[in-house]
Amino acid sequence: MAELTHLNQNGEAHMVDVGAKDITHRSARAEGRVYMQPETLNMIVEGRHKKGDVFATCRIAGIMAAKRCAELIPLCHSLNLTAVSLEIEPVFSQSQDSTDKTYVLLSSICKLDAKTGVEMEALTAVSVACLTLYDMCKAVDKNMEISGIRLLEKTGGRSGHYRHPHAS
């Protein structure tokens, strides 16, 4: 296992000095899910939610969050992102006995040319988009669950390419 780079020789938290690293093209892809009742997802997809376009609001919230990641996560570097995208896919249960759940799959991609990675920005984008969806729909579905937030893939940098073993 690699050593923890956010700890100095005294075991104290510090921001990693990336000054000597090379600038490379980097990208990261992350995903998360919000499980909900089929009626809730139908309301969103059909545009009947009283708060407006839920997916558009989630998309904007996720993009804004990626851009502000360094303000939210201690020790993250401020990054000059070149691209942030957030895709949203409604997934309806295919079974009558509720063994398959209905959910919204949210996935983000963040890109830049920099000395440090962009994984935290992709994860923050997905996390805030999921929280925004929850916030907008909590009045109609208190049983929603946010789950499966994970890094799917990252490229660039010294450590090279990483792909989650279960990434699609």
Looking at residue 45, its amino acid is V
At 27, which amino acid appears? Answer: S
The count of other CB atoms within 10 Å of the CB of residue 67 is 18
Tell me 13's DSSP state.
B
In this structure, how many other beta carbons lie within 10 angstroms of the beta carbon of residue 80?
8
CA 72, 3, 122, 41 dihedral sign is: negative
Catalytic residue among 97, 100, 113, 135: 135
Dihedrals φ, ψ of 38, to 5°?
Answer: -55, -35
* Residue 51 CB partners (closer than 8 Å, separation 6+): 57, 136
Q: Is 135 noted as a catalytic residue in this protein?
A: yes
Angle between helices 119-137 and 54-67 (to 10 degrees): 150
Which helix (DSSP H) or strand (DSSP E) does residue 69 occupy?
helix 69-72
Q: Which residues are catalytic?
A: 135
